[in-house]
A and B are shown apart, each in its own frame.
Chain A
Amino acid sequence: MRRGLNFVLAIAAGSLLLVACVSDGGGPPESANTSRGPIEVWLSTNPEEVAWGEQVVASWNSQHPDEQVTAQQIPAGKTSEEVIYSSIVAGNAPCVVLNTAPSAVPQFQQAGGLVALDTFPDGDSYVEARTGKEIADQYRSPDGRFYQIPWKVNPVMIFYNKKLFAEAGLDPENPPLATWDEFLQTSRTLVQKGVAPAAIWPAPSSEFFQSWFDYYPLSAARTQQQLVEDGKATFDSPDGLAVGQFWRTMYAEKLAPQEKYNGDSFKDGAAAMASAGPWAIPVYKDTIDWGVVPIPTEDGKPADQIYTFSDEKSLAIYYACEHRLTAWEFVKSATTEAADGELLELTGQMPMRQNLPEVYASYFATHPDYEQFADQAGRVVEVPNVQNSTEIWQTFRNAWTSAVVFDDEPIDKAFADAAARANELLAEE
């Protein structure tokens, strides 16, 4: 027994030595900031984005034979953050990821994985000129620097199925969905008339990002505030509780199911409404005769005052990049007015460019579907750019599923406990 213990200790000691000796590698030298050369970029697997991305890459490659760009697809969704984070840690992250979630930026930045834009002389000014200072500032990190380029936004609005609405006896062109009471009543009508199993079917599961499609749009419409303001959580307030209570009613009256739907419930006709952004238009266009309205507010605010969740994705330049100047130039070329226009046409997602409806007036004239989203894109609320943001969202989501979805505890207590925990996390250095 003792001999065995010695053996184990010897191995452990040897391993500690191994741990100490395993090299760190070190990052690229300072000169990388002005270096040019071939780079790798990652796209999401969204087919329309891939089509756009390949076009942009091909066009760049034809003009820059010495700075070839190779594009790779990585799966979007929860797992993409893990893939990116692992590659940061492994030191083999690409130069640009055209699918960086703003909620992950604090974590990536803390891990030293991102390059600040003010490394480049026109870094900050470019972003502000393109997106507009007010909106762009939502994307600065707590230290005031930009670690991401706000790229495209999918403002969340309410899609509704015109055919199902008509079947339920509701006006398919002007459905009563502006106030909370109207929304609830409409939902009841839809379900009672049996046109669909659910009025609306947001995912009730406990992944940290699901709140972005049920709580957050309504909260944004009501208060224009982020989840965290001035270092404190905002959901433990009369406004936050009101939104929670609204959704509790939806779940209690079985207007929204408590179980996750496998697939797209709106597309399958299992739900008469959906909270989604313009990315969904290509998905629905062949199967559903859809209409869209802004997020409901309690008193029915006018549409041009309603804010919503942005569902934004950024571009970011990553630390392991050895030819950062090329990366920056590529990012700029992917966000010119022409490139943004291509993005709009191919994917329907809104580039984060000021005055969208005017800049692409001809496009919107021929695609009136998208115009409402373009208008909405100027009024979006982003996820807070704070330390521990993922954990804060998870804490909130746990409280949400427990109190709002399953009524296992009172909403005010659940939100209060979650806010206390969130504030603790925010107070950490």
Chain B
Amino acid sequence: MSTPLPISSEGTPAQDLEVETPPRNRFRVFVLALGAVLFIFPFYYMVIGSFQAVADKSLSGILPHPGNMTVTNYQEINDAIDAPRALLNSSIFTIGVLLFTVLFGLLAGYALAVMHFRGRATVLSFVLLVLVIPFQLLQIPLYILIVRSYGLGDTYIGMILPFAINSTAVFIFRQYFLQLPRELFEAARIDGASELTTMLRVAIPLARPAILNAVLLTFIGPWNEFLWPFLVTKQQDMQPFAVALANYMNNVAGRATNPDGANMAGGVLLAIPPVVLFLIFQKHFTSANIGSGVKG
């Protein structure tokens, strides 16, 4: 098979590149496992550390000691921040971004891939340019624009706006639509379908893997974002989870019984949702729709 058509809505299972002879396969697995262990070690250590009553930096501290285990660190966080409210704020923020991204990003990705219109190449260059700009450069003027001129401080919209449409997602959508055979769209047009109908009826149903990938990748940004919501919200009951935790780690954790443990407990809590989400959906990442055949 030359270029596999990623039409199925499940991810195409990983191809067997060649018939592996067993020893080579086992070697590969061994190397992978070694790497995975090294990779995941800091996580494991973070989880262990978060349950320690007294910070144990020795070598034996790698293994959980029943005598040194406690949930105090988590309790202290729970006492210090209003977790359900913060999680709600994070969810609204993230879902808002996802909605905007999927809605407008799909439109944009489709247009950039399939449609021909004046200024298409310019917009494309624009998108690439935008990826180069560091957020800190935009921060203050954006803050003035959103909070002062539009008065959107302490609102969800104010939080969402700078992240509303994720350019990487647009990229993913575009790459994906580029790979779909042109004949599909031509056929639809010949049948008299408008572009909108074509997109809705033909392209999007096929795009489920891309949408899933884009959602998973876009999720990470707003969920972990600390600086912008921190600036934009003054009221504590508007702050998302990442901000509440960061505040806790910077200001209150120093007074906890085990500051290191408290910090790591905060880290574990923040990391759980994205990791869990990824594990649930990760098999969909195998299909060939991210950046494949990048043609710029």
**Is the beta-carbon distance between A89 and B251 smaller than 8 angstroms?**
no
A83 near B260 with CB under 8 A, answer no
Cβ A3 vs Cβ B234 within 8 A: no
Instruction: Identify which of residues 250-291 in chain B touch chain A, using a CB-to-CB cut-off of 8 Å.
Output: 250-256, 259-260, 263
**Cβ B259 vs Cβ A263 within 8 A:** yes
Q: How many residue pairs, one in A and one in B, have C-beta atoms under 8 Å apart?
A: 66
B143 CB contacts on chain A under 8 angstroms = 86, 89-90
Please indicate the chain B residues that have their CB under 8 angstroms from the CB of A86 in the complex.
140, 143, 147, 231
Of B126, B153, B254, which one neighbours A90 at CB under 8 angstroms? B153
Q: Which residues of B contact A262 (CB under 8 A)?
A: 259-260, 263
Cβ-based interface call for B149 (8 A) = yes
- Judge whether B23 is part of the interface by a CB distance below 8 angstroms: no
Q: Which of the segments A74-82, A110-118, A129-137, A323-331 contacts the partner chain?
A: A74-82
Output the least CB separation between A37 and chain B (Å).
Answer: 19
Given contacts A89-B140, A264-B255, A283-B255, contact A73 B147 (CB under 8 A): no
Task: Indicate if B144 sits at the interface (CB-CB under 8 A).
Answer: yes
Q: Do B144 and A89 touch across chains, with their CB atoms under 8 A apart?
A: yes
Determine the distance from Cα of A22 to Cα of B247 in the docked complex, in whole angstroms: 33
Chain A residues lying within 8 Å of B121, measured Cβ to Cβ, are 3-4
Q: How far, in angstroms, from A79 to B143 measured CA to CA in the complex?
A: 16
Chain B residues whose C-beta falls within 8 Å of the C-beta of A77 in the assembled complex: 250-251
Interface residues of B in 117-146 (CB under 8 A from A): 119, 121-122, 125-126, 140, 143-145
Q: Is B236 an interface residue (CB 8 A)?
A: yes
* B65 at the A interface (CB under 8 A): no
Chain B interface residue count, CB cutoff 8 Å, equals: 29
Contact B147–A92 (Cβ < 8 Å): yes
Residues A370-418 near B (CB distance < 8 A): none
A75 to B231, CA, bound (A): 11
Q: Is A7 an interface residue (CB 8 A)?
A: yes
B49 to chain A, nearest CB (A): 12
Chain A CB within 8 A of B58 CB: no
Q: How far is the CB of B116 from chain A (nearest CB, A)?
A: 14
Interface of B is mostly: helix
Tell me, yes or no, whether A23 is within 8 Å of chain B by CB. yes
Closest-CB distance, A422 to chain B (whole angstroms): 26
Contacts of B144 in A (CB 8 A): 89-90
Contact string against B for A residues 61-103, beta-carbon threshold 8 Å, 1 for contact and 0 otherwise: 0000000000011111101001100110111100000000000
Q: Is the CB of A76 within 8 A of B251?
A: yes
Interface residue? A141 (CB, 8 A) = no
Residue in B closest to A6 when the chains form the complex, CB atoms: B122
- Complex CA–CA separation, A79 to B248 (angstroms): 13
Is A359 in the interface zone, CB < 8 Å from B? no
Q: Is the CB of B234 within 8 A of A72?
A: yes
Interface: B148 (CB within 8 A): yes
Task: Name the contact of A73 in the complex, choosing from B126, B149, B236 (C-beta under 8 A).
Answer: B236
The answer to whether B231 touches A83 (Cβ under 8 A) is yes
In the complex, chain B residues whose CB is within 8 Å of the CB of A119: none
A7-B121 Cα distance, complex, nearest whole Å? 10
For the complex, what is the distance from the CA of A89 to the CA of B232, rounded to whole Å?
Answer: 12
- Pair B125/A4 contact, Cβ less than 8 Å: yes
Interface string of A126-165 (1 = CB under 8 A from B): 0000000000000000000000000000000000000000
B residues at A contact (CB < 8 Å): 119, 121-122, 125-126, 140, 143-145, 147-149, 153, 230-231, 234-236, 247, 250-256, 259-260, 263
A-B contact pairs, 11 of them (CB 8 A): A3-B119, A4-B121, A72-B235, A75-B250, A83-B231, A86-B143, A90-B147, A90-B148, A92-B147, A92-B153, A263-B256
A22-B145, A79-B230 known, 14 other contacts, Cβ within 8 Å: A4-B125, A45-B251, A73-B236, A75-B251, A77-B251, A82-B231, A83-B234, A86-B231, A89-B144, A90-B144, A90-B148, A263-B253, A263-B259, A283-B255
